[in-house]
Amino acid sequence: MLLCVKKWVHKLPSITGQDAFEVSKYVEIDFWNQIKQDYEGFVKEALESEEVSLALIIGMWGLGKTSSFKAFAKPIIEKLGGKGIAIKARDLFDIYRKLRNDPYLLPERMARSIVITIMRSEDLGINEESSTVELYKEVLDRLKAETIFVFVDEFESIIGEKAEFSSEVIEGLTALVNGEFKPLSKNGELKGKLHILLSMTPQALARFTSEIEISETLGRSLRRFKKKIELRPLTRREGYELFLGYLKYIYGGELPKELPFPTLSVFDAIYIGGKQNPGYIVTILNNLLSRLISENCPPGYIRMMNIRDLRAALESPIIEELGIFRGCIESQFIESTKLLITGDIESDRIKHIVDSFFEILALSPFPISLNEIKQLQRDISDDDIQLALKLIENKLSTSIRRPLLSFRAVRKEEALEVINKVLVTKELQEIAGDVPRIIDQIVRFRISDEGIVEELVVPDTSDDIMIIARELSEKINVKEEYLLVILDALSKIDGKETLYRLSREILDHIYPPECPICPVTTDKDKAIRIWRDALRAITTGEVTPRELGLALVPLILSDIFFNEEDFVEDFVVRKKWNYGATTVLLRFSALGILSRNLLDKITFSRTFRDILENVPVVILFVKDQLAKYAGKLKEELKKDVYVYVIPIGTIESAVMLGLRNLRDAGLKLFRDEIRKLIERIRQKIKITDNLFSEILEQCQSEGILITKPSWDPAYSLSDIPRVYDYYLVHPKAVISSEEVFKWVQERIKSLLFYGMKARDIPCTIDIESPKKLLSLENYLIRYGFLKESVGRLIVTNSPIEERLLRIIRERKRVPIDVLQNYFILEAREKLDITVLKSIYLSTLERKGYIKEVDKKQAVYEYVPLEKLEQEAEREVNFLVNKYNGRDELWRKLAHIVVTKERGYRFIRIRDFISLLEELLKRSYAMENELDKRRLLKTILRLLKGVLNRYFDILDELSKEIECVKREIEDKRISIKQDVNKLIRSLFTLGFMVSERNIKE
């Protein structure tokens, strides 16, 4: 049978979770009145003082600090002719930072920063070039205000700034409050025109007072604070005041005789589901009331609520958590538990009864009586209830020690008398002040003919007493042993009726606590403690960047959470990753940066020097407001390491740290729940699966990724530097493949023996035509060794060469096993560094930048340009002097004829020397250091690898001729008889001479 009751008369106010204190327009609560009085007192005292006044608004996230300012302070301010404006702290800091280079003293800089932030926040369009005084006058005029109260939201974000900057900002505020900016001082022309309210969390305030430098500055300012206004969640009693007060408002000022709720206990579900937040509470209540409108009731009436209505209202997605909206309860857990209880019951009727009974218990976080249960489910009898109680307890006790707790309701007055008697003992006197908080947790409100009646509910058995004492101890921070004494005394009072409640273990699954990590484990108590510790560590900055970074890595590598030891060693993450057709070994470190000062390049490099020397990539997780500073650091470090910046919120960081601490604590974890939670955070901060592909693309363009290059199959990879020689030896800065090929053939190849293949000699690789060289040239352009310029080419350093060169130059001397740490290489069973050595280090050697000083250990050393020039000059001069110092006969014989089956080369030593002298002169004329170096190195390679060898051959020939000459003079041989023998001997040495030459 449908039961209809009177409908409300006032329209339901539209309120969200963000509008916590908007409810105060309709409901009066003593706590809110006190906050309102605090704001009013601050405003009036500030106006009377005629100087800059300062207040602190303290409260946790989500408690509505900004909403309280708008609801309580702004109306008072505007009533008194002022203007209340809320600004973001990070906007203020950005403007203050820009003004640091301007010639303002600290107090004026702060005053100017505030007024410019207000101008931009209110979009006033005022020219910012005017004086600070003129800006204030213009703002006051535009706002039509006598004075301004500025609310600085999220002031705790200053913790993330450099200590020097934080101290300066607070020093500036202190100086401003102390009247050191004369126009805003008590006797200034702007006296009483500005007052400041700083919003921050309790953790931030604790952090300030724990840092000596800041606390000293803040301490001086604290003595001049006009007010400290602290917000907290609503107590349970205040929640009932809100509930009943709201109902009075919508019903025109007083409660109707019959409410649309069969029992007031439903409000406990709304209070817990709404996280004690007034905005959420009213939103749930509105959802519930809206469901009661029925066409089957007469006009002006609504139907009575049932348990399904309450569940639907609690399931509405109103709570924002990690970027998504969720309901207030976990319906899936309710359904799975119902299935566990009734899965093997054959009777549909009994199954329905037990399901309904469990659903009522599941949605009742406070003990509920059997009579209230029957009011919520009218088709259930006393026998049905007893059957349901028995089945629920039997089924759930297999996994939970006490799934169902029993209580008794006792008269409040009698209970207070018992408590007062207990408190006479000396030990318990210390908790006398905690009694109101204890009562708040166990008071029960019910509707009777006399109105709203208060009773206390006490545990019914010794086991339940111990369980409730432990719960209360953790919740209100009172010693458990004292609570045991009080509850034991209360349990001896005769009760009026029995009440039931599911265990906290079950209820915490149904009503997720303010603990995002709690659903991933069965041990809720430890999870809550770990969550609070993690949140405190993040907000106070106690966690180290390395530990936080490691906790955040599962956001980009989900596999790592359960197998960290397989991937991480000394905070370095190693992961094989498929990149195109290649598998690379990605090595990186992750850092979670909470402080602005660590984003200074010098500080960062000094603090994380070991990281910068051991990994090529750093993943930088930073608070949202630090993202732009991290971006600047990324640019400053791009020559040393690739930095990938990921902005992340405080709560998300705390969740990941909490998950890691849960895992390390050895608790049983639900893997699927962890994956869901991590995925939600990934979606919120926009991390995608192609993140590492993006990183590798950037690393490839910046010379950090080294993979096996594609290359002409007719040549080996180690031939790349030898082909590159064709371009390195050319004496022009801008070249083409045609002229390169021609010049090498005419000026280099013509001076080399046939078949000369030594890799340290330039251009010893055979390329048959300009067309073939052009095809190879395309590879060199692709990998950055050459660069196209207006249809021609210039020799350049590839990104990998640039990185190698920078490292070797800075470290002076580096072994290859250290060099490889700065790069991402292909993943092999044995780390492959062949490409690094045979291609990139080889090309740098050929360009004259480095030399291998220890071939066994593969140690490379940087060669300064001056040293290279001096060596080339010295060697060429020595060679010229050596040539000129030889006798006339030697110089006449300084020709070498090299033959092969189809041709010969006539090599004149003088031509070779002329080439070296020409290259030396051209090196002087080159403007680009790379062009200078490659020519100087070409000189040394030709000289040491070829010309010195030619000199040795000619010296041997000279000795032979001298020997023959002496024998002729001694008449020990017959010229005519031996001339043919001599010619044959010379021929074997590679020289073609005629009989006439011999005679000469």
Q: What is the residue whose two structure tokens read 């200078």?
A: 932
Provide the mean pLDDT of the chain: 84
Q: Alpha-carbon distance 691 to 699, whole Å? A: 12
Let me know: does 409 contact 497? Beta carbons within 8 Å.
yes
Q: Alpha-carbon distance 344 to 339, whole Å? A: 9
Contacts within 8 Å (CB) and 24+ apart, 116-120 = 117/87, 117/91, 117/92, 118/85, 118/87, 118/148, 118/150, 120/91, 120/95
* Torsion angle defined by CA atoms of residues 743, 744, 747 and 752, in that order, rounded to the nearest 10 degrees: -170
Q: What is the pLDDT of residues 784-802, one digit of tens each?
A: 899 988 778 899 998 888 8
Q: What is the pLDDT of residue 830?
A: 44
Residue 53 DSSP symbol: -
Q: Residue 442 — pLDDT band, cuts 50, 70, 90?
A: very high
Q: Collect all residues with Cβ–Cβ distance below 8 Å to 14 and sequence separation of at least 6.
A: none
Cβ burial 530-549 (10 Å sphere, 16+ → b, else e): bbebbbebbbbbebebbbbb
| pLDDT-wise least confident of 546-560, 564-578, 809-823 | 564-578
Q: What is the pLDDT of residue 895?
A: 67
Exposure of 353 by Cβ count < 10 A (0-12 exposed, 13-18 middle, 19+ buried)?
buried
Q: Alpha-carbon distance 892 to 883, whole Å? A: 11
Strands (E) across 125-259 are located at: 148-153, 194-200, 225-230
Sign for the CA dihedral angle at 783, 788, 792, 795 comes to negative
Going by C-alpha positions, the residue among 505, 501, 485, 271 that lies closest to residue 408 is 501
Q: Residue 219 — pLDDT band, cuts 50, 70, 90?
A: very low
Let me know: does 169 contact 219? Beta carbons within 8 Å.
no
In the chain, % of residues over pLDDT 90? 31
What are the residue ranges of helices labelled H in 541-570?
545-552, 564-567
Q: What is the pLDDT of residues 233-248, one digit of tens each?
A: 888 889 899 999 999 9
Residue 446 DSSP symbol: E
Q: What is the pLDDT of residues 475-515, one digit of tens each?
A: 888 888 989 999 999 999 988 789 999 998 788 778 866 77
The SS3 assignment for 548 reads: helix
Q: Collect all residues with Cβ–Cβ distance below 8 Å to 937 and sequence separation of at least 6.
A: 728, 845, 846, 847, 848, 868
Q: Alpha-carbon distance 328 to 308, whole Å? A: 15
CA 835, 837, 843: angle at the middle one, nearest 5?
95
Q: Residue 886 — pLDDT band, cuts 50, 70, 90?
A: confident
CA 91, 97, 103: angle at the middle one, nearest 5?
130
Q: What is the pLDDT of residues 273-326, one digit of tens each?
A: 888 888 888 889 999 999 999 889 999 999 999 999 999 999 988 766 555 567
Let me know: does 55 contact 228? Beta carbons within 8 Å.
yes
Going by C-alpha positions, the residue among 823, 819, 794, 796 that lies closest to residue 808 is 819
The SS3 assignment for 681 reads: helix
Q: Collect all residues with Cβ–Cβ distance below 8 Å to 778 and sequence separation of at least 6.
A: none
Q: Would you list the DSSP string of 482-500?
A: HHHHHHHHHTTSPPSSEEE
Q: Residue 585 — pLDDT band, cuts 50, 70, 90?
A: confident
Going by C-alpha positions, the residue among 351, 362, 468, 361 that lies closest to residue 407 is 468
CA 89, 94, 96: angle at the middle one, nearest 5?
90
As a whole number, mean pLDDT of residues 741-750 equals 85
